[in-house]
Amino acid sequence: MPIGEFGRPPELPTEASPALTTNMYWMYEMGQASLNPARALADMTKLVFENPLNPFATTEFGKSVAAGCELFERTTRRYGKPEWRLHETEVNGVRVPVEVKTIWEKPFCRLLHFDRKLSQPLREPQPRVLIVAPMSGHYATLLRGTVEAFLPGHDVYITDWSDARMVPVAQGRFDLDDYIEYVIEMMHVLGGNVHVIAVCQPAVPVLAAVSIMEAEKDPYFPTSMTLMGGPIDTRRNPTAVNNLAEEKGIDWFRNNVISKVPFPHPGFMRDVYPGFLQLTGFVSMNLDRHVDAHKRLFSNLVKGDGDLVDKHVEFYDEYLAVMDLTAEFYLQTVDLVFVKHALPKGEMMHRGKPVDPSKIERVALMTVEGEKDDISGLGQTEATHGLCSAIPDSRRVHYVQKDVGHYGVFNGSRFKSEIVPRISDFMHSAALSKPSLVAAE
């Protein structure tokens, strides 16, 4: 199931029967429904044992019962789409409110703008940044820390991909080609003079989109392109999850992990790669770590350590919230990126036209990798530089962040203190040396 940025699949039969593949989503929904009474009972029991009028509320026994009930409810519930919770930021030492606005929308994506309500105009304009979030199971809010880090010094936009089970079948398909066209259309909406950042999985479609724009001499080309921990060439330093795709082959994924959205979701009967399978893949990669984390949650609930409980809840409310992917997007991505390696081989096509990164001349390029990345191996993103042979050396940068894994490439303390300043400096330099369309021609 999940590959590369998509994670690692849980154990499944070598070949599942068509009936099992078709009905697994429906069985999951039935299982969720059957647990509703138990969750309601757990909530009620928790309230009883936390009630200060209950003599057991302050005892070890009472606290353990309440903690066990909360743990049961949290581990069996379905988590909804998280909120952004980015209400303010600091610009030039002044706290300013932030409003999240939708400025463009299609069935499978919204373009969000984090509008900083500045009390007075800035002396110098700050870089406009389009962050292309991964469409690999988690919601775009997984990049909350990424957005928060860029907000003080940048005008930030981000792609907010839709949960496929919420999109009616009547809205049509959505595959990798559509993804590329969405990216191009969003850059047109922003009207040029923008820096695009692809976080992980979208490195391939963003590189393809910019290649197409350059080949067509599109006037709305981005000023710079930053690719972070992306699977540009998974033949380099392949990870265990990269190798899985070649071992299984695309037919295995088609036959084993694609299911139809059940009633009553708006996407009823749409073929999808379900989010609950995606989550199983994520969790199985570090099962011991997640089990230990929930053991600590139980202990902290009993002890009443609110700070540690809040940290656990904040992380897992985000981590356990997953979305469905359209079957055609998932399968096309696995096939072209992880099985056929179409882009680095020069074989990738978009609507019958070749995708050629060597056409990129006007866009500055930066690649960022994590030294300990176990999802996109070291060198997979750096391969972009060899493909973009027409970009002058003075307008390209490669940076490896020491001692971070995959998620440290776009989140955490080292990201804020070491990676963001480098990307920001790169953007300013790229803007100063940006060639014009006339000069490029």
Query: What would the pLDDT profile of 196-255 be if each residue is shown by its tens digit?
Result: 999 999 999 999 999 999 999 999 999 999 999 999 999 998 877 777 777 777 888 888
Per-residue pLDDT, 433: 79
Name the token pair of 44.
Answer: 């009620």
pLDDT at 244: 76
Q: Using CB atoms within 10 A of its CB, is residue 288 exposed (0-12), middle (13-18) or buried (19+)? A: exposed
**Separation CA 28–CA 169 (nearest Å):** 21
**pLDDT at position 90:** 94
CB atoms near residue 316 (< 10 Å): 17
Percent of the chain surpassing pLDDT 70: 94
Average pLDDT of span 15-41:
78
* pLDDT tier, 26 (very low <50, low <70, confident <90, very high otherwise): confident
- Which residues have C-beta within 8 Å of that of residue 55, sequence separation ≥ 6? none
81 φ, ψ (degrees, to nearest 5): -65, 125
Name the phi and psi angles at 50, rounded to 5. -100, -10
Is pLDDT of 438 > 50?
Answer: no
278 with 7: CB under 8 angstroms?
A: yes
Q: Which amino acid is at 59?
A: T
Instruction: Evaluate if residue 439 carries a pLDDT over 70.
Output: no
Q: Beta partners for 401? A: 370
pLDDT attached to residue 5: 53
- Comparing 192 with 185, the larger pLDDT belongs to 185
Angle at 144 (CA atoms; ends 134, 83), nearest 5 degrees: 100
pLDDT for 22: 58
Q: What is the pLDDT of residues 123-153, one digit of tens each?
A: 888 999 999 999 988 999 999 999 999 999 9
**Distance of CA 76 to CAs 40, 292, 303, Å?**
11, 17, 23
**8 A C-beta contact, residue 224 and residue 154:** no
Q: How large is the average pLDDT for residues 363-385? A: 95
Q: Are strands 155-161 and 128-132 parallel, antiparallel or unpaired?
A: parallel
Q: What is the largest CA-CA distance in the chain?
A: 81
Instruction: Give per-residue pLDDT as tens, 58-85.
Output: 999 999 999 999 999 999 998 999 999 9
Side chain identity at 323, as an amino acid letter? M
Predicted pLDDT of residue 436: 61
Higher model confidence: residue 441 or residue 48? 48
Confidence of residue 23 (pLDDT cuts 50, 70, 90): confident
Judge whether 111 and 103 are in contact, CB under 8 Å: yes
Average pLDDT of the segment spanning 82-108: 95
Domain spanning 91-246+326-435 has what CATH number? Answer: 3.40.50.1820
Rg value, the chain, Cα? 23
The confidence band for 441, taking pLDDT boundaries of 50, 70 and 90, is: very low
**Contacts for 213 with CB less than 8 Å, ≥ 6 apart:** 184, 187, 220, 221
Could you tell me which of 131, 84, 19 has the C-alpha nearest to residue 415? Answer: 131
Among 227-236, 383-392, 401-410, 429-438, the least confident range: 429-438
Q: For tokens 């068509």, what's the residue?
A: 18
* DSSP element (H, E) containing 250: helix 250-256
Has residue 415 got a pLDDT over 60? yes
Instruction: Please tell me the distance from the alpha carbon of residue 102 to that of residue 373, in angstroms, as a whole number.
Output: 33
Name the one residue in this structure whose structure tokens are 């992380």. Answer: 315
Cα 329 to Cα 202: distance, rounded to the nearest angstrom: 12
Position 155 pLDDT exceeds 80 = yes
Direct distance between the N- and C-terminal alpha carbons of the chain, in angstroms, rounded to an integer: 44
Task: Say what the pLDDT of residue 13 is.
Answer: 45
The tokens for 312 are 């656990």
Per-domain boundaries in the chain: 91-246+326-435
Tokens for 393, please give them.
Answer: 């050396």
In the prediction, which pLDDT does 2 show?
42
Q: Quote the CA–CA distance of 135 and 205 in Å, as a whole number.
A: 11
> By percentage, how much of the chain surpasses pLDDT 90?
74
Confidence of residue 12 (pLDDT cuts 50, 70, 90): very low
Computed over every residue of the chain, the mean pLDDT equals 90
The position carrying tokens 């998509």 is: 6
pLDDT score of 325? 96
Predicted confidence (pLDDT) per residue in 301-352, tens digit: 999 988 999 999 988 998 899 999 999 999 999 999 999 999 999 999 999 9
